[in-house]
Amino acid sequence: MSTSHKILTTGEADQLIRQWKGDHEKIVFTNGCFDIMHVGHLDYLEAARQLGDHLIIGVNTDDSVRRLKGSNRPINDAYSRTRLLASLEFVDAVILFDEDTPYDLIKRVKPDILVKGDDYLTENIVGADIVIAAGGEVKTLPFTEGYSSTSIIERIRTIN
Ligand SMILES: Nc1ncnc2c1ncn2[C@@H]1O[C@H](COP(=O)(O)OP(=O)(O)OP(=O)(O)O)[C@@H](O)[C@H]1O
Ligand SMILES: O=P(O)(O)O[C@@H]1O[C@H]([C@H](O)CO)[C@@H](O)[C@H](O)[C@@H]1O
């Protein structure tokens, strides 16, 4: 059964978020490019979901990734990246954002918990001010050493 239904516009997500908040269910939010998925993504996303009742993932659009990571990225387009993330059983919603940062999306979602991998310092996580001001928490999760989309691309480049 397809899990594409989890890929939502912000308007569609609003309704779901209202329902979850009405039921006092904790919403965990994280975001990223997730260009080439790897086990580091999986480890931290699984752990993120354990922090609350629902996991929402904000995903950069292709243009946003291009501005952030360079003109030769993403390797996988937004359709592929969102479909793969939505296919994870523990992911409840995937929402694309086109801005350079998820600040406006986080302002709209106002999650209970904002999470990134600990390659980020909590004080540098975009949206931390919004979540803390709303009484939420900002957390980082352990980094699975040896895995990054960039290093996978570099390894592929060495194949002749
Ligand atoms: N090895 C890892 N272990 C745990 N979390 C990770 C790991 N790599 C990335 N993350 C987390 O995944 C999210 C998405 O990061 P991103 O898509 O930039 O991954 P990446 O592998 O670092 O990509 P790139 O190499 O293109 O920067 C971020 O919250 C980041 O903290
Ligand atoms: O996949 P990345 O590079 O970890 O994702 C970026 O994360 C930034 C982060 O949230 C800053 O705290 C974000 O601003 C950017 O848009 C990418 O999602």
Average of per-residue pLDDT values in the chain = 97
pTM: 0.97
Closest CA to ligand 1's atom 1: 40
Name the CATH superfamily, with its identifier, for domain 4-158.
Answer: HUPs (3.40.50.620)
Predicted confidence (pLDDT) per residue in 32-64, tens digit: 999 999 999 999 999 999 999 999 999 999 999
Q: Which residues line ligand 2 (CB under 6 A)?
A: 31-33, 60, 68, 100-102, 116, 120, 124-126
Q: What is the pLDDT of residue 131?
A: 98
In ligand 1, the atom with minimum distance to the C-alpha of 73 is: 26
* Interatomic CA distance for residues 38 and 51, integer angstroms: 21
Q: What is the pLDDT of residue 160?
A: 83
Q: What is the pLDDT of residue 37?
A: 97
Q: What ipTM was predicted for this assembly? A: 0.98
Domain boundaries, the chain: 4-158
Instruction: Name the token pair of 133.
Output: 């001001």
| Ligand 1 pocket residue status of 147, Cβ below 6 Å | yes
Q: What is the pLDDT of residue 107?
A: 98
In ligand 1, the atom with minimum distance to the C-alpha of 146 is: 1
* Interatomic CA distance for residues 62 and 40, integer angstroms: 21
**Omega into 74 within 30° of 0, i.e. cis?**
yes
User: Three-state DSSP class for 11?
Assistant: helix
Of the pLDDT bands very low, low, confident and very high (cuts 50, 70, 90), residue 1 is confident
Instruction: Name the token pair of 96.
Output: 């694309």
